[in-house]
C-alpha cells in the first residue's frame, strides 16, 4: 500500500510539472504579405471629420462620419464608415485590405452607395493600391490612372488616383445615381465622385 501511495505522489508531481502547451496567436496576415504600418493606415486620412461636397449645380452632400475601427483581418484591416446627408440609409465604406488575387498587395476598397432603378440600396466597388508605383502594369491597369498633379475645379491636387468601377454593374442592378468614377489621394481622401446621371460631387 505504501508503494501505491508513492506511485500516486510521483504521478501527480509529474502531471503538475508538465508544461502547458501555449497555442501561438492567430496570424491574420496572408503568407508573403507585410503588416499594415501607421503610414499605410494614413492612406485613409479620416478620423472624425465629415467632408462636404458640392455638385456642379451647387447642391450639397455631406459625408457624415459614423466610425472607424481596426479589425485587422486580411479582408478588412481598417474600416471607416460614413452616411450620406441626402439619405442616411446610404452608407459609404473605405476598407484597407489585402487584395484577394495578390495577397502581398495592400489596397483601399471604397464601397460607394446608390439606389438602383428598383429602389434597392446597393454599393459599387472602387479599389486602388495604396502604393502607386507600377499601377499601369498592375492588376489595376484598366481601372486606375495615377496623376502626380491634377487640377480639379481649379484646385491643384497631388498624387491623385482616378478610379473607375472594378466590376461592371449588372444592368438589373444599375441606376442613375450609381457612381462611375472616383478621384482620391492620401492628403484629401475622396476628392470627387461622379454619378451615372452626370452629377459630379467635388470636395468643398
DSSP 134-168: TGGGSTTTTTEEEEEEEEETTEEEEEEEEEE-SSP
Q: What is the pLDDT of residue 172?
A: 85
Q: Which of 132, 138, 143 is nearest to 101 (CA)?
A: 138
Mean pLDDT by 10 residues, the chain (204 residues): 42 43 55 90 96 98 97 94 97 93 84 96 95 81 93 96 89 92 98 97 98
Q: What is the pLDDT of residue 29?
A: 82
Look up the pTM and report it. Answer: 0.84
Q: What is the pLDDT of residue 28?
A: 72
Looking at the structure of the chain, the number of domains it has is 1
Question: 153: which 3 cell numbers?
Answer: 475645379
Q: What is the pLDDT of residue 12?
A: 45
Q: What is the pLDDT of residue 176?
A: 95
Residue 6 included in any domain: no
Residue 28 included in any domain: no
Residue 85 included in any domain: yes
Q: What is the pLDDT of residue 204?
A: 97
Pairing of strands 78-84, 87-99: antiparallel
Q: Alpha-carbon distance 197 to 82, whole Å? A: 22
Residue 193 included in any domain: yes
Other CB atoms closer than 10 Å to residue 204's CB: what's the count? 11
Could you list the residue range(s) of the whole structural domain that residue 174 is in?
49-203
Q: Alpha-carbon distance 82 to 49, whole Å? A: 10
Amino acid at each position: 500500500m505504501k508503494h501505491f501511495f508513492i506511485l500516486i505522489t510521483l504521478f501527480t508531481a509529474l502531471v503538475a510539472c508538465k508544461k502547458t502547451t501555449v497555442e501561438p496567436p492567430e496570424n491574420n496576415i496572408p503568407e508573403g504579405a507585410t503588416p499594415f504600418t501607421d503610414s499605410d493606415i494614413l492612406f485613409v486620412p479620416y478620423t472624425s471629420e465629415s467632408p462636404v461636397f458640392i455638385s456642379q449645380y451647387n447642391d450639397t452632400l455631406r459625408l457624415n462620419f459614423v466610425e472607424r475601427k481596426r479589425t485587422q483581418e486580411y479582408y478588412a484591416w481598417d474600416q471607416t464608415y460614413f452616411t450620406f446627408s441626402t439619405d442616411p440609409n446610404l452608407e459609404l465604406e473605405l476598407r484597407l485590405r489585402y487584395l484577394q488575387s495578390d495577397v502581398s498587395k495592400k489596397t483601399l476598397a471604397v464601397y460607394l452607395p446608390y439606389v438602383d432603378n428598383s429602389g434597392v440600396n446597393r454599393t459599387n466597388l472602387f479599389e486602388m493600391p495604396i502604393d502607386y508605383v507600377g499601377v499601369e502594369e498592375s492588376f489595376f491597369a484598366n481601372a486606375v490612372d495615377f496623376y502626380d498633379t491634377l487640377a480639379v475645379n481649379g484646385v491643384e491636387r497631388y498624387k491623385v488616383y482616378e478610379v473607375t468601377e472594378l466590376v461592371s454593374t449588372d444592368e438589373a442592378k444599375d441606376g442613375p445615381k450609381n457612381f462611375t468614377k472616383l478621384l482620391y489621394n492620401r492628403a484629401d481622401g475622396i476628392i470627387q465622385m461622379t454619378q451615372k446621371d452626370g452629377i459630379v460631387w467635388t470636395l468643398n
